[in-house]
Amino acid sequence: MFSQKNAKWLSILLILLLVLVACAPPETAPAPQEPAESEAVEAAPVEEAAPEEAAAPEEEAMEEAAADFAGTITLGAAVSETGKYAREGKDTRQGYNTWLQWVNEEYGGIKVGDDRYEVAIVYYDDEGDPDTAANLVERLISEDEVDFLLGPYSSGLTMATSAIAEKYGMIMVEGNGSSESIFERGFQNIFAVLTPAGNYTQSALKSLSDQGAKSVVIAYEDTAFPTSVGVGAEKWAAEYGMDVLAVETYPVDVADVTAIMTKFRDLDPDVFVGGGHFNDALLFVRAAEELGFSPEMVITVGPSNPEFVAEVGDSANYIIGPTQWEATMSWEDDYFGTPAEFADRYEGLWGEPPTYQAAESTATALALQLAIEQAGSLDMDAVRQALFDLDVMTFYGPINFDETGKNAAKPMGAIQIQDGVINVVAPPEAAVADLIPMIPWDER
């Protein structure tokens, strides 16, 4: 047992220990745990500060370029999303947007003097109707106050919209209206990068003539672009020594061409030329096969589009079509590179290969960009003069506008579908395959 003395010392020791504990610095308590949802919300700011999460150099450059834009150049376009040109309108919009993505995100905007400008495009659906398209272009100019215009798809819509552009003195650069009548009105504000419609069949008819073709029949829709193609086909047939046995026209939105093709079959021509749009091409091929009509077939719009083969299958083989552009051609520029490189870029963006309508739409916007940069100004008169002076090679081919606004520098090509593949067969300097004679339907 403890003595009274020992108990006294133990009490003193306990008091000293309590004093020491009371004087020690307090321990920091751990923060209370938050619910899992709160933890997720609070995690993001940490990520922003982490060195390993820093932006890639290209992204930093793009952000810096965007911050340095002096302003925005706004372009306007009425392009078919619905209606009879919806398919071609999609290609046109995707062509414009391929350029838009490149010029803003890779090129750093349009250079105007010492400044660079971001680009925006305002679109409206013209529904494939000329009056609607004209009204929408007027809206783009007067209400949206766009700086310049890009064209619609088709010669008919380009005829209507370019008249509005001319009324307001506003430049329209386009790549999908090739009828000569567009350029015969003395307008000073319409510029087209594509080969005129009258030359569409030249390469194909020259090649067929060289192979011995002596006679031709021609059918075309009774509207501006197909009429120019048909009249041009008559001209080239005569120049190459072929007899024109018959010419037939048909109305817009034709649903059946059997009567025309029956008449042509009975004339037994060497060559059939069909001038119209994509749906017309399908009608021509299906009617010809059903009737056992097997001339060399040159069809204006359709064969160069990969969707044509998907629509008619093996019946597409040996069909010939004009083409403004193909990925196998040899043009090259400092912007999109070669046609093959452009095609890779386009397919990466849209998940499908480009039609020539898509390529010429990208070239349309590129031509306007180059003219603005050459002018060093957004002044309408200065840019207009720069367009007239433009003489440049692009991935799409040479661009050099004449006094009417047509591209006087660019030749037309011809393709033939061979085993489901679209091959360039003319002109010789662009050809990747020889032209194969049409095999009769009943011998396939």
| Predicted pLDDT of residue 28 | 34
Q: How many other C-beta atoms lie within 10 A of the C-beta of residue 415? A: 27
> 381: which 2 tokens?
């008169």
How many Å apart are CA 184 and CA 159, to the nearest integer? Answer: 11
CA angle centred on 256, ends 251 and 260, rounded to 5°: 75
CB burial string 172-196: b at 16+ within 10 A, e below: bbbbbbbbbbbbeeebebbbbbbbb
Tell me if domain 61-195+330-400 and domain 199-323+413-443 are identical in fold.
yes
pLDDT tens over the chain, length 444 residues: 444 444 444 444 444 444 443 444 433 333 333 323 322 222 222 222 222 333 344 444 444 545 589 999 999 999 999 999 999 999 999 999 999 999 999 999 999 999 999 999 999 999 999 999 999 999 999 999 999 999 999 999 999 999 999 999 999 999 999 999 999 999 999 999 999 999 999 999 999 999 999 999 999 999 988 999 999 999 999 999 999 999 999 999 999 999 999 999 999 999 999 999 999 999 999 999 999 999 999 999 899 988 999 999 999 999 999 999 999 898 999 999 999 999 999 999 999 999 999 999 999 999 999 999 999 999 999 999 999 999 999 999 999 999 999 998 998 999 999 999 999 999 887 888 999 999 999 999
- Phi (first) and psi of residue 320, to 5 degrees: -110, 145
| Predicted pLDDT of residue 68 | 86
- Phi (first) and psi of residue 6, to 5 degrees: -65, -40
Residue 281 contacts residue 274 (beta carbons within 8 Å): yes
pTM, two decimal places: 0.75
How many Å apart are CA 271 and CA 48, to the nearest integer? Answer: 68
- Reduce the DSSP state of residue 78 to 3 states and report it: strand
- Phi (first) and psi of residue 273, to 5 degrees: -115, 125
What's the fold here for domain 61-195+330-400? Rossmann fold (3.40.50)
Which neighbouring-strand residues pair with 397? 394
Delimit the domains of the chain by residue range: 61-195+330-400, 199-323+413-443
DSSP sequence for 192-254: E-SPPGGGTTHHHHHHHHHTT--EEEEEEESSHHHHHHHHHHHHHHHHTT-EEEEEEEE-TT-
CA angle centred on 44, ends 43 and 48, rounded to 5°: 125
Q: 199-323+413-443, superfamily in CATH?
A: Response regulator (3.40.50.2300)
How many Å apart are CA 342 and CA 351, to the nearest integer? Answer: 13
| Predicted pLDDT of residue 166 | 98
